[in-house]
Amino acid sequence: MSPYTETTITIGKAVLLQLHQRNQKELMDDSDYIPVLKTVISGVVSTAPDPVSQRQIQQTLHEYARDLYMQLWISTTAEGEDPELDEGLETFDYIYEHENWPK
């Protein structure tokens, strides 16, 4: 991985972490929050000079955003209940792809 790609990923993660921390306080609707994450990731990816770097950045930031989302998913599960991990992952993936709730 090139130094440029590593730096770009670091900056992208910093932005995603700030959005995550804001979402922890405000609990935005997933249909608003997840498309914002996708927009940030797309913007960061668009700065990469070549397709290999673009793919590395996109994969790394997507995985990072998904992990942060799942941390919040688990933390907001009612006490005494097991978090539905598959449901959380499916929710993130669907909204990330379609930018809206399933109809």
Q: Is 9 in contact with 57 (CB distance < 8 Å)?
A: yes
Q: How far is CA 28 from CA 2, 24, 73, 74, in A?
A: 35, 8, 12, 16
The separation between the first and the last C-alpha atoms of the chain, rounded to the nearest angstrom, is: 40
Q: Is 40 left (phi over 0), alpha (psi -120 to 50) or beta?
A: alpha
The length of the chain is 103
pTM (predicted TM-score): 0.91
Tell me the per-residue pLDDT of 17-60, one tens digit each, with 9 for 90 and over: 999 999 999 989 999 999 999 999 999 999 999 999 999 999 99
